[in-house]
Every structure is written in structure tokens, then in C-alpha cells.
Amino acid sequence: MTKAIPHIQKYMSTSPHSVGPEQTLATAHSMMREHHIRHLPVLHGGKLVGMLTERDVALIASMQGASEKITTVEDAMSSDVYSVTPDAPLDEVAAEMAEKKYGSTVVLQNGKIVGMFTTTDVCRALSELLHERLAK
């Protein structure tokens, strides 16, 4: 008997933090450090407009003459964001993330962010599934 593939809702982080495009990178970076996260969805008027990653912040910080205190999130974010619904199958989302080298996906329901699913969540899901299915 085979088990059904779980949905990412089971493994996603709920109530993700977000940032506005007009905020500075210093503000976003502080939020990332405080909450121990590497990905911040960027919202404008409640709508998803981008993703800011820890890597984006580090890239700007490495540029000569750039300042986290002046540079805005909008200047550093990626506007191409991978998103899925909470009932998306875990295997399909993980495969897409691996193929496109995405570090995260935003989970949307009715246009609102309800979660984040990151590579850390993928590892947690893999560990749990291996334990459930193979360690018996």
C-alpha cells in the first residue's frame, strides 16, 4: 500500500515575516537576523511584489559605495517569485525548487501569503518522510 504525497502545508512555516519595498536594506537585514530567516517576501499594499534574500543583502553590502542604510529593498529584491498554494504536492514543489535552484517558495491562498516553504523545510520533510517510511 502506498501513502499519498503530502501537501507542503504540512511542512511550511506559517505567519512569515515580510518587508515593504520602500524600507531600507538595513531594516530588512535587521529583521532577518532577529528572526533567524534568510527570505523575506516583499509586499506592497498587501500584494506580493518580490522576494529579498540574505544573499541579495550580502551582494549589495559587497558593492563599493553601496549602503544598507540608503539602498531600498526594491533596489535589491527579485521580482520573480515562485509561489504555490498550500495544497501543492510536496514532491512537485521540491522538484521545481531543485530544478530552478530556488531557496524558497511563497505559499499563497486567495492572493494572501499564508506561509513560506524553504530548503530548510524541504530537509525537515525529507527527514520525517524517511523516518516514517524507511526506519520501521
Q: What is the pLDDT along the chain (136 residues), one digit of tens a residue?
A: 567 899 999 999 998 999 999 999 999 999 999 999 999 999 999 999 999 999 999 998 888 888 888 899 999 999 999 999 999 999 999 999 999 999 999 999 999 999 999 999 999 999 998 888 777 6
pTM, to two decimals: 0.88
- Domains belonging to the chain, first-starting first, are 8-134 (3.10.580.10)
What pLDDT, on a 0 to 100 scale, did the predictor assign at position 20? 97
Query: In the chain, count of helices (H) and strands (E)?
Result: 5, 6
Q: What's the rounded Cα separation, in Å, for the pair 113 and 15?
A: 8
Q: What's the rounded Cα separation, in Å, for the pair 118 and 89?
A: 14
What pLDDT, on a 0 to 100 scale, did the predictor assign at position 117? 97
Q: What's the rounded Cα separation, in Å, for the pair 29 and 136?
A: 43
Residue 47 exposure: Cα atoms within 13 Å on the Cβ side = 3
What pLDDT, on a 0 to 100 scale, did the predictor assign at position 136? 62
What pLDDT, on a 0 to 100 scale, did the predictor assign at position 63? 85
**Residue 93, beta-bridge partner list:** none
What pLDDT, on a 0 to 100 scale, did the predictor assign at position 66? 81
Sign of CA dihedral 118, 7, 82, 31: negative
CA dist 49 → 7, 22, 43, 131 (Å): 25, 12, 6, 37
Residues 6+ apart with CB under 8 A from 46: 112
Beta strand 47-53 with 39-44 is: antiparallel
Chain position carrying cell 520501521: 136
